[in-house]
Amino acid sequence: MLKYKAPLRDMRFLIDEVFDYRAHYAGLANGGEATPETIAAILEGAAALCEEVLAPLNLPGDREGCHFSDGEVRAPAGFKEAYAQYAAGGWQGLPFPAEYGGQGLPVSVNVFKSDMMATANWSFNMYPGLSVGCINTILKFGTPAQKALYLPPLVSGAWTGTMCLTEPQCGTDLAQITTRAVPQPDGTYRITGTKMFISAGDHDLAANIIHIVLARLPDAPSGTRGISLFVVPKFLVGPDGATGARNGVMCGAIERKMGIHASPTALLNFEQAAGAMIAEPNKGLEAMFTFMNTARIGIAIQGVAHAEASFQGALPYAKERRSMRALSGKKDPEFPADALIWHPDVRRMLLTQKAIAEGGRAMIYGAAQMADKMFEAAAAGDQAAYDEFDGKLGFYTPILKGFLTELGLEAANLGMQVFGGHGYIHENGMEQIVRDARIATLYEGTTGIQALDLLGRKVLLGTRGKCVRDFTATMWRFSRRRLFAGGPIGRMARTLARRALQWNAMTTRIMLRARGDRESIGAASFDFLMYSGYVMMAHFWALQAARAAACVASGTGGESAAFYLAKIQTAEFYFERLLPRADAHRKGALASAGSVMRMDNDSFGFD
């Protein structure tokens, strides 16, 4: 069974050295408590929880799966006890206001914790993970009474939350929602309809589950403009916060699925379930995006987590497993064959995993600083600042979710490949990572949906290319100070400068083409997203390499000298071996939509 070790050295490198979170927190209104000592304690405590409690449950939880009987779901053995330990440790409340029982820390602190939890046991992470978006939605749109009633037990972890969007007849196209909400004389609503694919929709870990549900009022206009948002508890909640009778929401089934077996994906039937509206009537979808964007960042972490988990499994195996001799001669002469890690193709796979995991982590930790500022602006009621950082994070979100989950799945497959036939065996844990990773490119919007969101909504319609220009300006500011430097940092800087110009030129060409051919947006969107992801990750790898090189040059490396050298060498590998993939995506994005659209639908297949 695989053993998880929290990558604390890499995390501290990003937190302390690359992004200078100490200075970042000093500039936040709620950053005063996020001292280096506090952050260190949180990292160590979360690492212990993940290594000693959650990771050992991962493989047996996958093997056992969840149990469904008579409308009730039971998690695998050990999960309930682990969740009780998680809640008792105050882990759920890290980023939430103290007035509701939280610790009031910046949201980035929760990202650090989630990074470790997701890698140690993704299935377990989904139970409390969905609660984060539920809490954020109620925080932003709930009434004072709703906040007082629901937030304390959600923040403490005594209750968990879900989001209920998808229905049997519609997934991404939420305009087709048919769940109804009928107003009652007392101001509540009765919710009737069926929701499916609800992660952690029912379980036995918490005393109550709070569902955030999209539904239509009787007089609602059609389409997405007629959707409202409701909070619907599994058990009714009295004015004093005490749970009462079972509400009219029942689990009809849990899915038999490819992966994440230890987390239930539920079909929920709402039959005259009592609920309360949050946000304004017919504007529920706008409010739900608070939940959805939170979830999308969480899924981006999943891409990094599976790359990290697969790398941690593949690396020791490649060092221990022996097969043939290295092409350049014996490397381990005391053994009958050399270790796998001596073979160039195995090293290619390991370095690809490492580059994806560490590059993706840097992208997410960089985005987390913007999330801190966005939530600070929301708390202060500073709409202008909120809009600024919401826009910046909105540009990152589809790239992080779409690109990192695609690469996370690639890294998971590479880890299984390093194991060879042994990777196909359940007991070794590598095939589970592949199965668990596969869903990440699908839920919270498929990669294609993320691509349309990026190119269509964010780049073309939302900012007319400004979001790309803003990010490439950041790339240029980094590059121009190093354009004439020697060695790998200079080469990276010059490459980034060229890519910044190329990204802008490509965006302009697509914008001009879209004026006369709307289908060209959809045809170009996937390749545009992947190109954007590779170039964005290159920027974050250059940041890491430059910082590592500065430490080596100043002589401050000490015992970390090998770590810094590995950073520089991994960045070089990324620039030489992975970044060139962007050229193929650029060519695809700029190709005519004709080859995609001209075939007659009936010609795709023949009887």
Q: Give pLDDT, residue 173.
A: 78
| In the predicted structure, residue 292 carries a pLDDT above the cut 80 | no
| In the predicted structure, residue 225 carries a pLDDT above the cut 90 | no
Among 202-206, 454-458, 533-537, the minimum mean pLDDT is found in 454-458
Separation CA 442–CA 172 (nearest Å):
10
Q: How many domains does the chain have?
A: 1
417 vs 299: which has the higher pLDDT: 417
Residue 334 pLDDT grade (very low, low, confident, very high; cuts 50, 70, 90): very high
210: three-class secondary structure by DSSP? strand
543 occurs within a structural domain:
yes
Measured over all CA atoms, what is the biggest interatomic distance in the chain, rounded to whole angstroms?
84
Beta strands in 216-323 (DSSP E): 228-233, 235-237, 243-246, 249-254, 265-278
| In the predicted structure, residue 96 carries a pLDDT above the cut 80 | yes
567 occurs within a structural domain:
yes
Q: Could you report the per-residue pLDDT of 529-563, keeping only the tens digit for each?
A: 999 999 999 999 999 999 999 999 887 767 789 99
Task: Give residue 265's region: left, alpha or beta (phi > 0; psi -120 to 50).
Answer: beta
The helix (H) or strand (E) run that includes residue 159 is: strand 159-164
Q: Give pLDDT, residue 317.
A: 97
Catalytic residue among 308, 376, 431, 444: 444
Residue 422 pLDDT grade (very low, low, confident, very high; cuts 50, 70, 90): very high
Q: Could you report the per-residue pLDDT of 460-484, keeping only the tens digit for each?
A: 888 899 999 999 999 999 999 999 8
Determine the average pLDDT of the residues in 589-606: 90
501 occurs within a structural domain:
yes
518 occurs within a structural domain:
yes
Q: Residues 571, 543: contact at Cβ < 8 Å?
A: no
Separation CA 274–CA 272 (nearest Å):
6
The helix (H) or strand (E) run that includes residue 191 is: strand 189-199
| In the predicted structure, residue 291 carries a pLDDT above the cut 60 | no
533 occurs within a structural domain:
yes
CB count in 10 Å sphere of residue 579: 20
48 occurs within a structural domain:
no
- For the chain, what is the mean pLDDT? 94
Does residue 444 have an active-site annotation?
yes
Q: Give pLDDT, residue 306.
A: 97
Q: Which domain holds residue 556?
A: 465-594
115 occurs within a structural domain:
no
Q: Give pLDDT, residue 82.
A: 98
DSSP 49-101: HIIIIIHHHHHHHHHH--EEETTEEEPPTTHHHHHHHHHHTT-TTTTS-GGGT
Q: Could you report the per-residue pLDDT of 118-153, keeping only the tens digit for each?
A: 999 999 999 999 999 899 899 989 999 999 999 999
Determine the average pLDDT of the residues in 215-237: 93
432 occurs within a structural domain:
no
